[in-house]
Structure 1
């Protein structure tokens, strides 16, 4: 399941982090551990940047003349998702 702020660049960075983790688990070397840690840090930064970009886009949509319509559509979608979680868990 992808997050609402997921994009192609973030996917590549996370995939590189996962591959570095697998290499570290296979080799248990210090160099592989340092490589994994640096890629993990880069993945966190990329996720934060993608999330901020998505939030900026959301705020821009809320500043338009169609903002009220967008807010109700967003609330309706969130409500549907919450019902899906309730049905899935019960």
Structure 2
């Protein structure tokens, strides 16, 4: 049985590394991207089973990344995470196809 590949997208390298370490302990394989733009480049070359992205990032934010991923890879699950959650952001993310909003 192969490990699920999860693409972690966050412009905070420490948080990205901590999330990856936690997921690897749980048996997942991680691919890391420091921006939404980098995530799209990675997805054009590699397969991911899920994307876990921060909402607030410089350049392309998590909501824009979600929309771009769903345009190009409509069956790829995307989970958004943020330290600055609000109801409107969560509703918009779910309406746009996020599998969850943390």
User: Is the TM-score greater than 0.5?
Assistant: no
By relative contact order (CA 8 Å, sep 6+), the higher-ranking structure is: 1
TM-score if structure 1 supplies the norm length?
Answer: 0.24
Higher strand share: 2
Higher helix share: 1
